[in-house]
Structure 1
């Protein structure tokens, strides 16, 4: 028999926003795995490719800011993308201290394959585009409010 949780129990697991966000995040990212696997990408690598498809070229610093990742996390991710032949990392001719990330022709071609992912995720979630846009807006507000 399950313990009865009072509706006013502030520590009830099923009432915790952090718990719901954690489970939702893991569950949604798991939906991406089989779609990304044929491309050889992990979800964080996919996010980096999304940023590059939209904003290329980017310095490592700019990419880190967009993805909200530190250099220690981003550097191995970019090395792997480079070993897959999707990106190049080169010193900025104007500032030797800065690394610039650009897409290779193969990285650009990968975009066409990746365009199949968002509709597949929307279909799998079974939510309307309007519901997903509302969810995105709410999550964006949560992210902004949680910033230091």
Structure 2
């Protein structure tokens, strides 16, 4: 039971910030724009599956390495990379609404990194990782 709860909490820590970003990002478009056949909702398929895989990996690895501070730095680094990558994926799905000639670096800079909620939801994800119970004791 404790292991299942741990996996669920890690899953929420990885997927909730991306979900909140997706909902907030898509709220800037009208229903007509979103349903006109151009915005594909493939991102949840990827970030939910990858969040589940990462949750299993972190839950398993935390039983082995939870007392090592380097492990937690790696988990936070992976969480940040995952969050940036998935938010970029959400933004590329609606790229045609803003013009399809944008280079990927411009999508990242102008559609993801300059949004205030990108940083707020990312901070929530990192905070959730610090609040999660560990399987084998306290962090040192």
What's the TM-score, normalizing by structure 1? Answer: 0.26
> RCO higher in 1 or 2 (8 Å CA, sep ≥ 6)?
2
What's the TM-score, normalizing by structure 2? Answer: 0.27
Higher normalized strand content (fraction of residues): 1
Which structure has the larger Rg? Answer: 1
